[in-house]
Structures are given as structure tokens and as C-alpha cells.
Structure 1
């Protein structure tokens, strides 16, 4: 599907933020790992969350779902023996379930997206699990991956946090169920610490005790614990809403996004601070972000590791800011659905943006007058790239055509519908 995005001067209206994908997948996982029935209110619906639904069903969880409620009867420490699991293009789901699969005798994670998830590395988690009495066959640290477990062992576990925090989160979900106590030591650096905080928050809500050091680099995990069946309420999603807020920021707008908690632990909540620093007129009260955009922005500098999944949307806004913006400490963006630095910036240049990169930063020389556009650009199978490029299209003199725009469904299937509901001129073509 192609998205033809035309220059749109004015946006106006209200949008209910999607439910958080990150919290939904984590709540589904702890529900599956519980002995008993858990309830999730307002679960997210996207390709990633659907991948978790599909896989925990395959592993033996029983799911019943109505419009806004999901009940899960979990399998606890005893997932069903299955031969294959299909996580689609969902990297977090793959990594979380690699540790769960260690309780199974022989599971292969298949490679359905060789040009996206199939290219992403998982070696650090493979190394950690291999030291826990788990045998793993893999393709140079990439899919397909076969895990032969059944009797994983605790003890001292070392895992690198250089590439992704998802490896650590995976181990934190699994180790409380082991027969032994565990000590998890994070080697090198730890990316996206805020997201690890979300993992710890959800695990604690499920009744599990984990002792974490203040720098999140060292953990003591008592074994022989049980996840308790609980009721969870999923909050609104900041990463997806970031693109909507960026679109409002670069246009003449009067847009409200609802269900965004001021006290949320989502790191992407920092987009409110970024936009304020850009001089975007906005308020954030009672869970509502209200943007009255005038299209006039100033350049900023921010540590992008604090809001990884919203960096691309903020870069899109910075394309139209006065001055030079810099988003640093973002090397982990290179290891996502695509290289979100080089691939994304190449598409921005096609649209007329003036951008530079180093190994770990994105530099944007803003063009307040807008960019020319009038070209076809590629999505690289990446939902975050699609959403961010759409923001740029709204301020492109000749618009933009985004190829493979259907991949936005990975996290935000309603993205284009929501944009059109507030006035964006977008045409979808099969």
C-alpha cells in the first residue's frame, strides 16, 4: 500500500491515544506466566500485540476477548510443547518468548521477515541462555532460532545491554520461575533503561519480587516464585502518539490527544518536554495533551535514549525548526526493524531535508520554509519510519508518496485514519 501525503496547512480535532503496545505485550506475557486467570482492560490491537496473542495461545494460554477486555488463563511455568512459533516481525515478542521457550523441549522461531526482523541480532540473549542449560541453534545470532531447553538453570547470569534492553527484560520475566535463585549482571552499557523500568513495574504488579540496583545493572531474583493472576489496565501509548503530536506541532493546529497520563513511566513521555523546548504551544492536563500549533519551531538537543521509539517523530518536527537540532545517544536505533538512522535519513534527504548522522546521533539543519517533496520514498518495513515520514509530508510543498505504508499496522493500524480525522490530506492506494 502507498500513502500519498499532501501538504496540509491545518489540523484540528480530538484523538484517543491507542493503548500502549509495550504494556499490552508485557501484561499478556505475565498473564500467560500466571497460574490462574488474569484480566487486561483496553489491550492494544496491532501486529506486534497480535503476535504475542498468537504465540501465547500456541504455548497453551487460553484467551477470551471482547471489545475492550481480554482474559487469559495462563500456563505458568509449564508452556505446551510446540515445534514452531511465528512472532511475525515483532522483535520484542521474539526476545521475550525466547526465554519462555527455554521451558520447552524443542521450539523453532521461524523467519517470516528476512529483510527486517530476520536481519536483527539476538546473540547477547543467546549467549546468556546458553549458560543456563539451554541449547540453541541459530543463524549467526539471527533467525531462524531453535531452542532446546526443558530444564533451564538459574545462578549467575551475565547479559550485555549494549544493543537492546529487551534481552534483559526477557531474563527478568523468566528467572523468577526457575528452581534456583538468580543473579543477573548487565555487562557494558544498558540501552533504554526507561523501558526496563516498565518491565519491572509490570512484573511487580504481577506479585513477583526482584531486587534491582539503582543503576539497573545488577539484579537478585529469588527462584520458585509464581506470577499471580491479576487485573491490569493498559494506559495510552506515547510512542504512537508522538507522530500525531509532531504533526500538530508542524502545522497550524488545534489538536487534543486523550489518554496520555502525566505520570506515565513510558520514556516517550519526554516528547512533551521536547516539543515544549521547540516552543510548541501545548498543555498537558488530566491526561490530555492539547497542541495549538503555529508551525514555528526552534532547534533542540536531547538524549534520545530516554525516548527511543519517539526519536524519529521528533526528528521529523526538527526538520522544520529554526536552527540545528541534535539527537544523541541513539545508536540502538540502528538495530530496529531497519537502520533507523541511515535508512531514515536517506529518505529524509530525498524529501529535501538537510540531515547528518554519526554512529550514535542524528543532526538536523532545520528548514522553517518547508521542504520540496514531490518524490516517492521507502518505508523500509518500519512503522516508526512511516509515521515520521508522514509528518514531513504534511509540510512538503509537493507532498510525499510513502511506499509499503501498510507496515504502520505493526504498532498503529489506525494511524492514517486518525490523521485524516483531524484533517490530514492522505490518500491510501493499494
Structure 2
């Protein structure tokens, strides 16, 4: 959630942020009104309680005639205090509810617009000219089936559409990617983590995934658990309700977990193969930092993602995501999009988001510096979303005979294999 002091002192900035996100600007004024009611009812409650305490001291000293009148007044005050307390609780609940609906304040440098209004910041690598090499590129599913690496037919038979099996070298390729990603993250100072895939409502709400993203979250109603769509959720909640020493920051974690997404609203999009699926594995970087260092950490996360994709020898571009596509918790987000030859365009492989103090306030994660205690900043960055990375590797490194060259960074994790070869049917 945002800092209420900012809302009170600069509501126009909050309105501008909501407008840029394409979200309800009226929410700002409703929250201001609820906050004012909460504060005024709190003052009223305190005044009545003070009067009630003062009256309580007078009653024992009063004469019998005065005591009767004072007791009547005490009864009325008791009712007034109860009503003021209820009014304060009601206003507080309304303000908290409205505050949870408000997105993070957009960074001033973020391009304004929707999904297609991003700005390309950098381009890396060289796009292969398959025509010059004398063959037409196959898509990842055709390659994966020939390699004995991907089985979507049996995935659909067992679990439905957008599920899959990784088999043979496909399974080995996932394990190689995960191990290589964790090795890079560990070398960079991240603490490796295996995180829960089921979380309680507060963890999901605290990270901002029960707002506009709620339609893509799987909820187990009987047990009131949520399946995570990213290990960002359990990593953000790891230090929930804790105060961390400022001199111990930054704290960096690299989480590996299964991820589950309903992909609501994407019917008909990316239905072939494993690019957009309901379950996948991912290595996620997560940082707790001093708010003053948040923007620098955001760039560091992006640099680690660029290092990873460069090591996989993939052509990619870096984009500054537009305001309408940020998600509620990020103030700014950079995506790395890899070139997918058979689609003839760049597609998202990684994201790096600066959430400032938005998640920390919701989850009550704070830092102590001397006697000062304040919310810290959280940031997250995808290092390897496995299925999409496999898509990019298969298509970009395919050879004319249907085999696939293995990037050098992965060879130590694949027993030294340089090429993945088709299997006999």
C-alpha cells in the first residue's frame, strides 16, 4: 500500500498515478474522505474517553444529589463512547479496504499507456537469418516432440489444456536451466530458497495479487490457501511482521518453485506448445533493500537478467513497461523479451519490478536504523521462467537437421552435451 502521508500531502500525485494506470481516480477522493472520518472519529473518541475518565473521578466525591445527576451523565457518556468507538472502527475498516485497492505510485519516468505503449531501452544479440542458412525454422513444439522433450498431448489427456510433460532431454534441460540459474544467483550473493507453493490469504494479498490479478490466482476454498503464481509471494512474506536491521541490508533471495496461473482472459492466445501454460517452474530473484537504494537495485536485477540471457546466447530486447501494464504493486518494471523466430517477434522472458515500500507496508516488513523504524523496499526479478526459456532456446539454437545446439553455459549441467538430437520414433 502507499504511504498515507503522501496521499494527504500530495493527492494530485496519487490521482495522476491512478489516471496513468487507467484505474479509478475517484478511489483517491473516497480514501481521503474515509481517512478524514477515521481521524476525526478518533479525536472524538479520545475526547469522550477523557471526559468519561474525569467524570469517573468526580462521582465518588459528589454529594448524593449530585451523584444521581453524574451517574445519568456517565450512562450517556458510556453510550457515546461506544458509538464513537464503533464509528472509528467502521471508518478505519473502510479506509483500509480502499487503501488496499489503490495501486502503487507510478515512477515519473514510466511511459504512459497500455500493453503496446512500452519503450525499447536496449537490444542485444543478433537475430539469425534462417533463409540465408537454407532452411525454414521449426517451432518449439515440433522441435520438442522430435527431440522426445515435450509431450502436450498426454499433458492434455491427464490434466487438460495448457498442461504438458517434459520428457527425456526436456526434463534434463529444465534441470540444467534451474541449476545454472541458481549457480549464477548464488555467485551474485543471493541465498537459494525452496519456497512453499501454498500460501495463506495475507501473503497473497500483501504482495498485491488479490487485486486486479486475482482472476489468475488458483484458490483452494476448502482450506483457504492460494497456489502461488510466482515465488515472489512467499519470498515477500518471508520476513512478514519483522523488523530488519538496516546494516544487514540488502537481503537477496533466489527462490525456486512451481508456479500456477489460471491465464484467465488469454483464451485463444499462445495455445500451441508450452509458451503460456497453467503450471511451470521458475527461479525468481527477490531483494529487501533500503528505500534509498531501490532504484539502483532495480538496475542491478536487470543486469543479472541480461547476464543470464546473454549467457544463453539469445537475442533479446529490454523494454520499459507502460503504466497500464505494470500490475498494482510495481512502480516501474523492465521486461527482457527474447526473439522467437517462428513468431517473428520478441516475447517476454523475464521481468524486474521495483515495488518500493508498497508490499512492505502491506506485510509489515520494516527496517531499523538507529531509533528510526520505517518500511523498507522490495524488488523482484525473474531469472528463469523455465518453459518460455526452453521455447527460446529450442527455436533460436535449432539446426537444419532438427537438432538443437546447447549454449555453452548449460553444457556442464547436461553432461557436456553440445547438441540435443532427435530421437527415433
**TM-score, L = length of structure 2:** 0.23
Between Structure 1 and Structure 2, which shows a larger proportion of helix residues? 2
